[in-house]
Every structure is written in structure tokens, then in C-alpha cells.
């Protein structure tokens, strides 16, 4: 069983992973409702990946200077929550491409921060167990989110789904901010 800090991190990042997985495989259907064809779906997703790459490079150069990594993680959650909320009212592909680019900034802030906090709190001599615990948790949440996302879209539509994703991301952000223990380094042990 992971230590207290990893449990808190798993809980709030698990909620966030649930949020993101709600849309996951439905993304192409979401974009298709804008009546833009196949290529714009690829362009919008490429904008996200390009932005994530560029801003991950920036974070790689500046991120270690931040004392409170949890605030980077929380900032990533906030940006993504804002983008998902905006996606509930998008009416054209240009808006989506810009939103996907901004979403990539959130990804670039959040993912390296999560990985860093995780690595700093690994239990001594239990690294494989800690990583496996997270992988099993995230995979279970992905399964749930994928199924739940399909149900929500089929019953209530994409707007409801995207608002729900935003709310879950804000819950994750609040939980991470409210737990300053996440910033303390743990050099092995509970």
C-alpha cells in the first residue's frame, strides 16, 4: 500500500484521469459535430500535441525552480478544466484548435508536476509496487470513465459531459491545493 502522500496524489489525479477519460475515445465524434470533416479532427489534435511538446520543453527548463510542485499540478488542472468548459460552447473549428493549443499548456504543466511529485514520494524499495499501484488505479479509472463517458453523451450530450469533466478537474485542483503535504519530499517510507 502506498504512503499517505501517494494515496492523496492517487485520489486527486485519479479523479482527474476519470475526467479526461470521459471524452477520450469520443473526441472524434465531438469534433465531427462541428461538420468539418476528417482532416480538421487531426489538425485540432495535432495542435494539442504540438503545444504540449513546446510547453513541456519550457517547463523542463523552468519547473525545477518551483518550490511548490503541487501548484504546477493544480495549474494544469485549472487550465484543462477551463478548456473543457469552453469546449461545451465551441461553434467552429478555429475555436477548437485554439482551445486544444491552450489545453496542451495545461498538459505540459500538470503531467511533469505529477510525475515529479510521484517520484519524490516513492516508498523505499517499493518503486515497482508504487508504480504498479498507480497503473492499476489509472487503468481502472480509464475503464470506468470510457464507459461512463459514452453513457453520458448518449443520454445528455457533449455539453453535459464537458461541464462534468471541468467540475471533476476543479475537484482535483482543490484537493491538491488543500494538501500541502504533497510538496514535502519523502525519501522512502510512509
> 189 pLDDT band (50/70/90 cuts)?
very low
pTM for the complete prediction? 0.92
Residue of 75, 25, 40 whose CA lies nearest to 55: 75
Please write the tens of the pLDDT for every residue from 7-61. 999 999 999 999 999 999 999 999 988 988 889 999 999 999 999 999 999 999 9
Residue whose entry in the numeric block shows the C-alpha cell 519530499: 185
Comparing 10 with 187, the larger pLDDT belongs to 10
In this structure, the chain runs to a length of 190
Residue pair 161/29 in contact by the 8 Å Cβ criterion: no
Contact of 31 with 44, CB cutoff 8 Å: yes
Class for domain 4-181, per CATH?
Answer: mainly alpha
Q: How far apart are CA 54 and CA 138, in angstroms?
A: 26
Contact assessment for residue 1 and residue 106, using Cβ atoms and an 8 Å cutoff: no
- Please determine, for residue 190, whether its predicted confidence score (pLDDT) is greater than 80: no
Domain residue spans in the chain? 4-181
Determine contact, residues 157/89, Cβ cutoff 8 Å: no
Alpha-carbon distance of 128 to 149, in angstroms, equals: 31
Over the stretch 113-122, which tens digit does the pLDDT of each residue have? 999 999 999 9
Amino acid at each position: 500500500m502506498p504512503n499517505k502522500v501517494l494515496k492523496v496524489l492517487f485520489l486527486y489525479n485519479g479523479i482527474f484521469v476519470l475526467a479526461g477519460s470521459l471524452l477520450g475515445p469520443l473526441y472524434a465524434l465531438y469534433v465531427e459535430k462541428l461538420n468539418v470533416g476528417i482532416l480538421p479532427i487531426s489538425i485540432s489534435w495535432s495542435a494539442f500535441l504540438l503545444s504540449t511538446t513546446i510547453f513541456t520543453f519550457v517547463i523542463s527548463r523552468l519547473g525545477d525552480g518551483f518550490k511548490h510542485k503541487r501548484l504546477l499540478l493544480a495549474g494544469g488542472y485549472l487550465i484543462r478544466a477551463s478548456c473543457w468548459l469552453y469546449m461545451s460552447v465551441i461553434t467552429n473549428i478555429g475555436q477548437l484548435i485554439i482551445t486544444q493549443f491552450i489545453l496542451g499548456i495545461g498538459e505540459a504543466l500538470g503531467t511533469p508536476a505529477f510525475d515529479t511529485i510521484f517520484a519524490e514520494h516513492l516508498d523505499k524499495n517499493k518503486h515497482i509496487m508504487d508504480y504498479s499501484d498507480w497503473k492499476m488505479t489509472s487503468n481502472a479509472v480509464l475503464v470506468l470513465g470510457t464507459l461512463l463517458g459514452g453513457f453520458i453523451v448518449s443520454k445528455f450530450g457533449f455539453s453535459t459531459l464537458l461541464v462534468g469533466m471541468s467540475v471533476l478537474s476543479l475537484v482535483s485542483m482543490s484537493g491538491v491545493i488543500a494538501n500541502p503535504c504533497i510538496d514535502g519530499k519523502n525519501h522512502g517510507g510512509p
